[in-house]
A and B are shown apart, each in its own frame.
Chain A
């Protein structure tokens, strides 16, 4: 079945540690996105990529890093520089020319202890 797979679903991390969240899609989508969701704040864009080996910062990129070495994969690293990393992280993808329909993964819940 086609879709977006995020892993892990739940992750615990100690302060000062980096952690990488995985996002894989088999929908042949060109564009991929990472969003952060906090209660009462909706979805905020962290990074997005429209093509392999290229990506752009979103509204809240500080403390995060990404790579796009393959079309299917867009991993997100939450670094120790992120001041408040506990959140629900959502990966999404779409065709490059699409003006709205994002397909989302099931999300990864990161908790910093």
Chain B
């Protein structure tokens, strides 16, 4: 069993839809949770960063962490074609070593 599981998709939705991306994990020691966005043939860039449980909102993006269920989510409201990318969840116990999910490929159709 992988430490971090993420549905690879692909996921295709119409413009304006609410998108929900999810990851589950098995290591209860994870404390730091991140979402990276990766455009085709580019390096990932940090999108959201959360410490421990709770919600964090940044514009159209909301990250949720439920440590009791070992489950994290990223919601995208009013999705735009420019949101089309691969989204990677990542998490760590502390400094240095991130564990990544497989990535979900998302397409927003105009």
Task: Please give the residue numbers on chain A whose beta carbons come within 8 Å of chain B beta carbons, in ascending order.
Answer: 4, 6, 31, 35, 40-45, 48, 50, 90, 92, 96-102, 104-107, 109
Contact = CB atoms under 8 A, between A and B. Distances in A.
Interface stretch (B59-67, B77-85, B95-103): B95-103
A106 B102 contact: no
Contacts of B34: 100-101
A108 to B, nearest CB: 10
A42 B6 contact: yes
11 contacts: A4-B43, A31-B96, A40-B103, A48-B96, A92-B43, A96-B95, A99-B31, A99-B92, A99-B94, A102-B98, A104-B44
Interface of B: 4, 6, 8, 31-32, 34, 41-46, 49, 51, 88, 90, 92, 94-98, 100-103
A8 B62 CA distance: 36
Given A41-B102, A43-B44, A107-B41, 14 more contacts: A40-B8, A42-B88, A42-B101, A42-B103, A48-B96, A99-B31, A99-B51, A99-B92, A99-B95, A100-B34, A100-B46, A101-B34, A106-B43, A107-B43
Contact of A100 (B43, B44, B92, B101): B92
B45 A104 contact: yes
A98 B41 contact: no
A45 B103 contact: no
Contacts of A40: 8, 102-103
